[in-house]
Chains A and B, each alone.
Chain A
């Protein structure tokens, strides 16, 4: 497979990362090598092998339904870029 400049730009938009045209070209060039490496995976037949998502084969431990958190919004918002009336401010959200 070979990636195109459009792929790079589409992926950058999905990832919300601004890339200039020259950056895209550079990324595309590096992707070429990286995906050659990644493509080596296709050399093995993995039919019937169950994908492994976790390092251990254990199941979820659940927490009881209890309120354990306290109100810490002042502390959390002390590191926020912009806050007003206890709300995080962002450029206008348009639906």
Chain B
């Protein structure tokens, strides 16, 4: 039998506010234990929560970005359960009416465009951390993270493979960073996924029983966990067993999922509206203000790159894979200020996706930390466009830029890298090369094209690479063919 895998993701994006969602404590990562746990976060008797406008603002931005409904009135509810890292004995979350309903995320998997519908996105608070290193058989609790704002983004079960799930998660990851609501730092837990996985016979309209894989904090684990889990479920079904609804954990060490609890052991969370928090109202004016401050979204920017700048879909998609890259591209283009923006765009895209990406990759740097700033690259592009530099020389200049030797023009000057475009000078070099290589001249005239390339090479070498290759070609060809 052929099996279809059905996946839905619940993603927790930590919202990049300065203070917590219900208290005035800082949210910075890595502070000494409990130094960022205020009276409210520690849940002292008598303390009360007050909602942070910044967290709501970021939820609204997300709703706008995924074309969702922003509920004009949403409700905070208490999710009750006991855990040492949950100081109040309940988590403040949203249950019946979340701040964001619906929406969709569109992305490509290979050549195919894929749309994943969103169920909802709701605001909630994060829990603290249990540290499991041994304190004489006890665990230590650090409440610094308690109360950090989260946006839980719930998708419909619209994905059909681990690849699709990863592509969705990556798109969502890029999006939350793009609209500046989450730093996306997966190692620090700022962006983590739970995957609901089920399988069913291909063609079946009914969903299979799902198991939820908790807390996947890297795309690689997401992929591995889903693949393992789906295979495990298929194996079970093929052996005639049934799947029991359950929550499982992924163990990266052995690449397997293991049972955490079954549906029977599931919590009874006793959700009810939090009496300490009044309904959250979002009016049209607030929505309009937020809309006005939204950056151009990736899809819009990609289509602009394709239609106005005639970039290929591949180039454009690659440039909008994250906001930094797209902004960098726009900054270079603006600084170059070319007559022919389409030609410039193609050249800039090639440099960003090629030389620059490779260099960053080698140095394990992010674009934001690039030693070559947008204006510096623009200086280089300008000199390529006006034919001062050949592509070979340009790469040398790029190395100079990377090493901080100054601007493109300074490097060209210092290293004497200016391309020779003076036809007289080139003609002189060509004549010298022809005179010294009569055998190859004869070979060329006898029909061996290879000999021509060799002669071009000789001229370039004699010019120390600075001769304009197009001119060399033209002049050499003229002389050989007329001789």
Q: Decide if A and B touch, CB cutoff 8 A.
A: yes
Report whether A63 and B138 are in contact in the complex, using a CB–CB cutoff of 8 Å: no
Contact with B along A55-95 (1 / 0, CB 8 A): 00011111111111101110011000010111111111101
Q: Which residues of A contact B135 (CB under 8 A)?
A: 84-85, 87, 89
Q: Which residues of A contact B270 (CB under 8 A)?
A: 14
**Does B249 reach chain A (CB closer than 8 Å)?**
yes
- Among residues of A, the one whose C-beta sits closest to the C-beta of B140 is A87
Report the Cα distance A14→B25, complex, angstroms. 31
Contact with A along B255-277 (1 / 0, CB 8 A): 00000100000001010010101
**Does B98 reach chain A (CB closer than 8 Å)?**
no
Report whether A93 and B130 are in contact in the complex, using a CB–CB cutoff of 8 Å: yes
Report the Cα distance A64→B17, complex, angstroms. 10
Report whether B140 and A88 are in contact in the complex, using a CB–CB cutoff of 8 Å: yes
Chain A proximity of B224: nearest CB distance (Å):
19
Kindly specify which of B51-59, B367-375, B422-430 makes contact with the partner chain.
Answer: B51-59
Chain B proximity of A17: nearest CB distance (Å):
11
Report whether B35 and A60 are in contact in the complex, using a CB–CB cutoff of 8 Å: no
19 A-B pairs, CB-CB below 8 angstroms? A59-B73, A59-B279, A59-B281, A60-B51, A60-B279, A62-B53, A63-B24, A63-B52, A67-B18, A69-B24, A69-B25, A69-B36, A73-B33, A73-B35, A85-B33, A87-B140, A88-B140, A90-B141, A93-B83
- Shortest beta-carbon contacts, A-B, top 9: A65-B54, A87-B140, A68-B24, A69-B38, A59-B281, A62-B53, A88-B141, A73-B34, A93-B139
Name B39's contact: one of A76, A89, A90 (CB within 8 Å): A76
Q: Which residues of A contact B35 (CB under 8 A)?
A: 71, 73, 86
Q: Which residues of B contact A64 (CB under 8 A)?
A: 52-54
Report whether B19 and A88 are in contact in the complex, using a CB–CB cutoff of 8 Å: no
List the interface of chain B (C-beta within 8 A of A).
17-19, 23-26, 32-40, 42, 44, 50-56, 73, 82-85, 130-132, 135, 137-143, 249, 260, 268, 270, 273, 275, 277-281
Contact with B along A7-22 (1 / 0, CB 8 A): 0000000101000000
Q: Which residues of A contact B84 (CB under 8 A)?
A: 88, 90, 93
Q: Which residues of B contact A91 (CB under 8 A)?
A: 137-139
Q: Which residues of A contact B260 (CB under 8 A)?
A: 95
**Does A53 reach chain B (CB closer than 8 Å)?**
yes
Q: Which residues of B contact A93 (CB under 8 A)?
A: 83-85, 130, 132, 139
List the interface of chain A (C-beta within 8 A of B).
14, 16, 53-54, 58-69, 71-73, 76-77, 82, 84-93, 95
Report the Cα distance A63→B251, complex, angstroms. 40
Chain B proximity of A36: nearest CB distance (Å):
23
Q: Is the interface of A mostly helix, strand, loop or mixed?
A: loop
Chain A proximity of B337: nearest CB distance (Å):
38
Q: Which residues of A contact B38 (CB under 8 A)?
A: 69, 72
Report whether B51 and A87 are in contact in the complex, using a CB–CB cutoff of 8 Å: no
Report whether A63 and B34 are in contact in the complex, using a CB–CB cutoff of 8 Å: no
Report whether B42 and A69 are in contact in the complex, using a CB–CB cutoff of 8 Å: no
Q: Which residues of B contact A84 (CB under 8 A)?
A: 135, 140
Q: Which residues of A contact B25 (CB under 8 A)?
A: 67, 69
Q: Which residues of B contact A90 (CB under 8 A)?
A: 84, 130, 138-139, 141
Report the Cα distance A73→B51, complex, angstroms. 22
Report whether B18 and A89 are in contact in the complex, using a CB–CB cutoff of 8 Å: no
Name B19's contact: one of A66, A72, A87, A95 (CB within 8 Å): A66
Report whether A86 and B32 are in contact in the complex, using a CB–CB cutoff of 8 Å: yes
Q: Which residues of B contact A68 (CB under 8 A)?
A: 19, 24
Report whether A92 and B137 are in contact in the complex, using a CB–CB cutoff of 8 Å: yes
Report the Cα distance A22→B50, complex, angstroms. 43
Q: Which residues of A contact B138 (CB under 8 A)?
A: 82, 89-92
Report the Cα distance A5→B53, complex, angstroms. 46
Q: Which residues of A contact B55 (CB under 8 A)?
A: 65
Contact flag A87-B23 (CB < 8 Å), given A59-B281, A60-B280, A65-B55: no
- Among residues of A, the one whose C-beta sits closest to the C-beta of B81 is A14
Report the Cα distance A69→B44, complex, angstroms. 14
Q: Which residues of B contact A59 (CB under 8 A)?
A: 73, 278-281
Report the Cα distance A13→B388, complex, angstroms. 79
Name B37's contact: one of A58, A61, A76, A95 (CB within 8 Å): A76
Q: Which residues of A contact B40 (CB under 8 A)?
A: 69
Report the Cα distance A77→B44, complex, angstroms. 11
Chain A proximity of B55: nearest CB distance (Å):
7
Q: Which residues of A contact B18 (CB under 8 A)?
A: 65-67
Report the Cα distance A65→B23, complex, angstroms. 9
- Among residues of A, the one whose C-beta sits closest to the C-beta of B27 is A67
User: A68-B19, A73-B35 are known contacts; what are 7 more A-B pairs with Cβ within 8 Å?
Assistant: A62-B50, A66-B19, A69-B23, A82-B138, A84-B135, A91-B138, A92-B139
Report whether A87 and B275 are in contact in the complex, using a CB–CB cutoff of 8 Å: no
Name B36's contact: one of A60, A71, A95 (CB within 8 Å): A71
Report whether A54 and B275 are in contact in the complex, using a CB–CB cutoff of 8 Å: yes
